[in-house]
Chain A
């Protein structure tokens, strides 16, 4: 038997590129699908979200100001990092979701492939969602998709990694900054992926990940006026209406779960963009 001391990991929040304990000092226990102790995870608070929104708001212009190609490179880099830590991810997915090792590895592969898929979309989304418009006048008229700004994502409660990647990478891909509230009972794969953003050239604040109680955190983000869109994917169906109403108070874009599989549609990419139309005079 080794007499080495245990090196226990602290699962922290990711806010403004830094890994922080909650300002509240709280943490909560996360168990495996079978009920065994897995980790103590930071329990984020209202003020953590406040800080995350401030960070996201400050980071978003830089992220959107980068070229679409560059955003794609950064997302692809995240896929590279995930690839090299795939065993660790698979281990956590298996424990959180109660999957067999093989199924967990397949989930991780699909998740990494989704990151690559969104990395590819960064410089193509404008062609698909934008275009030139025929107008009756001497104008060159075209529309381009621009990001909503700061997007809050309440992540799926069951799918700890795959749904997380889908929900977070899509708004990032089109130039939004994101505050993600990870699955309450299965947060560790999301926290691991967050750690990988630190070595993926993500500007601090572009992706913020807060762990904690969804019921406590979701209403704060829904009513926060400096959040431009919210994905209610991880909210129980009965609660989505109330949160949508709170979001309407500040005219947010709301993506509500409706049971459809979004993985092959552009609905996620379309969910958090605005259309900006430019009229440009033609000579003579």
Chain B
């Protein structure tokens, strides 16, 4: 005989379990309401825009919405079908419609993204579209022989679906060939992948230089007496509070051919008047200026971690017979790892997306991928800009994941 134990109840007779659940639910709701403003802010200012950007990189309805007849023909006929009279008739009908609605430019822009010098083909033909007579194939080819080119038909087929990989193809230096296959663009037009690689390598280099420079400063800051370390801290923070543009242009004044540094070197006789060193408007300039601008982002996390390291550990190691190098390597350095990780991640991610500084001091070989993203934004090819940004985002997330696997994100310490 097993008796069912009597249900535990609260003073007013409600089951204890239910009462507990409702009390916890209340607390959870309260907590949720407290974070709700931040959550909404993050959703609206961060998640939605990034989602929209990623969507834009795979979606463009400039052609599909303005050329419904041709889109229908492409849907009905599989890839590889020779464009027949029906296809040309659909094209002619769409061109006439474009002329009426003034949408030829919109459609042309979409095709022009993938095949250069086609915009004028569309706008010029659309202007005369209502005079076209059947047979349309002959009529269109007589208008412009380019209408017979397979590359253009492939581009129109790809654009007839608003969802497209075209922009990611361009962003990886690839293009759709005449047979619909994907091929690399001519060597003298390949730029994006190379620039991605360069952006990551340069950012890595800048992060490394920042680490080498920041480590002793942070150590000094953490170990000096309060009065002196405060002064030093102000020196670290002062440039941090100065406008980015001012700092960049100050570097131009210092480093340019007729600048302060070169003038001093010449007046000291270390270099001749003709031997002035080129330190700016090139890759060197980008590295110098970005290192200076990003240095505080390395110093601050390092400092906050180093301050918590007790000097007694190092003393204990020395008293047990370790050399100063061993003490540094085995005792001090491992304890600063969370700071190194945080600083490196911060500097690297900021460097990857930097654009004002390379734009101003980068010259020919010091520009980064962000400069091209900005270029396409200003040339109103937002989809390509979005695709390039998407690739940058994936690259950064990959590195973040790698960092998590190698070091562990829980070890990150920002302050």
A and B co-occur in one complex = no
Binding site for A on B (CB under 8 A): none
Binding site for B on A (CB under 8 A): none
